[in-house]
Copies of this chain bind each other. A is one copy, B any other.
Amino acid sequence: MTKKLLLKDVAKLAGVSEMTASRALRGAPDVSAKTKAKIEEIARTHGYVPNRIAGSLSSQSVNLVAVVVPSLNSFVFPEVLSGISAVLKESPLKPVVGVSGYDLEEEESVIREMLSWRPSGLIVAGLEHTEATRRMLQQADCPVVEVMDVDGDPVRHCVGISHLQAGGGMAEQILARGYRSIGFIGTKMPQDFRARKRFEGFTDGLAAQNVTLSDMEHYSGESSIQTGRQLTSQMLARNPHLDCIYYSSDVMSVGGLMHCLAAGLSVPGDIALAGFNNLQILQGLPLQLATTDACRHEIGERAARIILKSRETGKAEELVFDRLTPAISLGETL
């Protein structure tokens, strides 16, 4: 670990000015091919790593896009991220992830932290924020995209699906198939606004046809197969007549399916199941579960494209409000 190597050192070794070295290493014009090669050679052999803090301060530009999500522990947000990365790949921009833990206060502090690095764009999951967060988003001098959800009042750009609509759509499908004794099982309900909206849309959809929820469970912990299995078991124990359960996520509905397998219940004969998200990784189970696709990858792509476009053009972008359609796939459990 030798003493840190600065641009001036590289320049001195190459016998040029700092300015020329800087240009050469950034691929900027006004450097002859020969000197450029020499400088690059020296930088490489000596392991020079440019100080982007200084560079960004000077150039007033940071090639980072801040992405703030509630969690990485589900499969949901990594897929949004991969959509973002895919689009950003062919640009100098890089995504930087922050995790808010489904906590609006924490979200505020994470966003404040990220904005303090003056990113080229900010993508944040959800429309619900503290007042201070909303102010920051409004005043941020970079494009801001709120993703995943469109049911609410976006601060700037917005790309997502309507979770109200997703819940309502599933209610329609379930009712259309004749189910009437319906339960709901959700996780993280206090904090997960989108799950709550699905729940709301779902009960509204039922109510529209004069059906009320027969039972429900709002679990505050994380989703897991185990949790889904246990809650399903409990709910069916106290309500054996239920003929359908709607879950806040696929992971939970898989747990439900596991309970049914163990209990010898036929699905959907004895009981129908439906989840949400359409997670690829859960394909391959005994039955293909009914679910709604949340368009995660595409949401990520579109959000990233908004950032890119607003970078190319000279700001003053008109606001984008992209409402994608959540497609229901019935699978074999409805």
Task: Please report A residues at the B interface, Cβ cutoff 8 Å.
Answer: 1-2, 4, 44, 47, 49-54, 56-57, 62, 72-73, 75, 78-79, 81-82, 85, 94, 96-99, 112-113, 115-118, 132, 135-136, 138-141, 223-230, 251, 255, 258, 261-262, 280-286
Q: In the complex, are the beta carbons of A224 and B283 less than 8 A apart?
A: yes
CA gap between A118 and B98 in the complex, in Å: 18
Q: In the complex, are the beta carbons of A99 and B117 less than 8 A apart?
A: no
Q: In the complex, are the beta carbons of B282 and A49 less than 8 A apart?
A: no
How many copies of this chain does the complex contain?
2
Q: In the complex, are the beta carbons of A85 and B99 less than 8 A apart?
A: yes
Contact of A228 among B226, B255, B284 (CB under 8 A): B284
5 additional contacts (CB under 8 A) given A78-B78, A229-B284 = A47-B135, A53-B118, A225-B281, A225-B283, A227-B284
Contact of A49 among B52, B73, B78, B115 (CB under 8 A): B115
Q: List 18 A-B contacts (CB under 8 A).
A: A1-B140, A2-B139, A47-B139, A49-B115, A49-B139, A51-B118, A52-B116, A52-B117, A53-B53, A53-B117, A57-B57, A72-B81, A73-B75, A73-B78, A224-B283, A225-B283, A225-B284, A261-B261
CA gap between A98 and B64 in the complex, in Å: 12
CB-CB nearest in chain B for A224: B281
CA gap between A97 and B284 in the complex, in Å: 31
